[in-house]
Amino acid sequence: MKIRTRLFLAFLVLAGLGFYALVDWIADDLRPRYLESMEESMVDAAIVLASFIEQQADGDAIPVKGLRSAFDAAQRRRFAARIYQVTKTRLNMRVYVVDAAGAVVFDSDNGKEEGKDYSRWNDVLLTMRGEYGARTSRADPDDPKSMILHVAAPIMADGAIAGVLTVCKPADSVSLFLEMAKRKIALAGVIAAVAVVLLGIVTSAWITWPIQKLTAYAQAVRDGRRVPAAPRLGRGDMGRLGQAFEEMRDALEGKQYVEHYIQTLTHEMKSPLSAIRGAAELLEEDVPDGQRRQFLRNIRSESGRIQDLVDRLLQLSALEKRKTLRDVEDLDLAELAREVVGSLTPLLAAKGISVAVQPDGPAAVRGERFLVRQSIANLLQNAVDFSPAGGRITLAIRRSREAAELAVADAGPGVPEYALGRVFERFYSLRRPDTGRKGSGLGLAFVREAATLHGGEARLENIPGGGARATLVLPLAPPEGGA
């Protein structure tokens, strides 16, 4: 499992549990808060109604006639009170009054409980003692949802408690408000959870992005792909880790580079050195002038091979160590191709080979002139080596949306299938058809390195019917005024 996935899943689980616990706690805490608010308003109502009765008192009896008339009128009234998303259409408040003995003298519920003894109910008992009287009782003992809140207030007469007025409301009155509040809290929780999940995705990506960049860089180095440098990850721990990767890569590549090149160079120089030694030994003897001149030509030829090998090796070695271009400029591929053809005119004339440069419109690339020119020269030289005498080579230049392609096609025997995947390797070379000798094996390797350094590519393929086509692909130069 990827680190990003692990971080995201851990963040998701923790955030999910946290939000669930928070929403559940808030939802559970809502009901007592609603009931507290309802009880507070019932206290006000009980005091106001008790004060109303006190104002109506005349003698020892508790006057409830006015209260009864008010409730009868209120219960007959038709109304529709829009309370946020709830519409209230009927009274759900009950009021009863007891005298000093605890007997019910008024019950707004059609007088149903009048005459009964309520002296032992907490609301009445506590109020008679001068304390705050309140209780919660079930209308149906088997139904927990039938809870009713009772809040009482004393009815005073001549400084003494003459009776008690109790206001009653079902606790279920808050259920509609509670459900709406819970739905809103749940919706807010879901929205917040989604926001947190998105934040988690961004956070995990931000944390793992440097690791992924370093992993891709390490894999590219492992696979031998050309990478300019370690990714830039700032000045923190990841930046120092990337720099350590780069230094380790340079150290390892430098060691492998030296070992590989020493071994390969030694192998490649054995043949010409053996030829030079043999010719020198024969020259020590008394040989005819004709053979002497032949041996001297062999010495010059083989020493030239060694010099060419060393020069190309130095060029490729310097190129492989570079990570950026120098002296970048806009280059016309067609112009460079014609310049290279002109420089190789003696070689082309010696084999009677004709070259046609076929540009398909203007194709300007941005790069380093020496590297691009040398790459074209290497491709053309390779095509000449494998072309038959009197053959024809075509340099076709095409422009695509983002790149320019220079394709060098010859009419030679083509490349064997077993060699197609290796022609760009250092020191890998095939025998030339006309001489039977191999080249240095560094020309196409130079082309590939130069193309990669420019952000392009190089490829080689056989042409159906005969011949081979080598293609150099380079990014187009930005238009004038562009970035």
Pairing of strands 354-359, 392-399: parallel
Cβ-based burial of 303 (10 A; exposed 0-12, middle 13-18, buried ≥19): middle
Q: Look at 168 and 238; give whichever has higher pLDDT.
A: 168
DSSP assignment of 150-182: EEEEEEEETTEEEEEEEEEEEGGGGHHHHHHHH
Q: Note the pLDDT tens digit of each residue in 382-423.
A: 888 888 888 899 999 998 888 899 999 998 888 888 888 888
Q: What is the mean pLDDT of residues 149-156?
A: 93
pLDDT recorded at residue 123: 94
Burial readout 171-207 (b: 16 or more C-beta within 10 A, e: otherwise): bebbeebbeebbeebeeebeeebeebeeebeeebeee
Q: Which residue spans of the chain are classified as CATH 3.30.565.10?
A: 325-483
At the top level of CATH, the class of 226-323 is mainly alpha
**426 pLDDT exceeds 80?**
no
CA atoms within 13 A on the CB side of 448: 16
Q: Kindly report, residue by residue over 294-312, the tens digit of the pLDDT.
A: 777 777 777 776 776 676 6
Which pLDDT score, from 0 to 100, does residue 226 have?
58
Residue 434 pLDDT > 80, yes or no?
no
232 C-beta neighbours (distance < 10 Å), count: 11
- Residue intervals in the chain for CATH 3.30.450.20: 34-179
Cβ neighbours for 302, distance < 8 A, ≥ 6 positions apart: 272, 273, 275, 276, 279
Q: Is 292 in contact with 286 (CB distance < 8 Å)? A: no
Comparing CA positions, the residue from 205, 215, 105 lying closest to residue 164 is 105
Second CATH level (architecture) for the domain 34-179: 2-Layer Sandwich (3.30)
Query: Could you read off the pLDDT of 208-252 as tens digits, one per residue?
Result: 777 777 777 777 766 656 555 666 666 677 677 766 766 666 655
Give the whole-angstrom CA distance, residue 152 versus residue 401: 88
Listed in order, strand segments (DSSP E) in 371-467 are 392-399, 403-409, 457-462
Single-letter residue type at 471: T
**CB 95 within 8 Å of CB 168:** yes
Ranges for all domains in the chain classified under CATH 1.10.287.130: 226-323
CB atoms within 10 A of CB 120: 8
Superfamily of domain 325-483: Histidine kinase-like ATPase, C-terminal domain (3.30.565.10)
For 18, 51, 366, the CA distances from 157, given in Å and listed in that order, are: 57, 11, 106
CB 403 within 8 A of CB 392: no
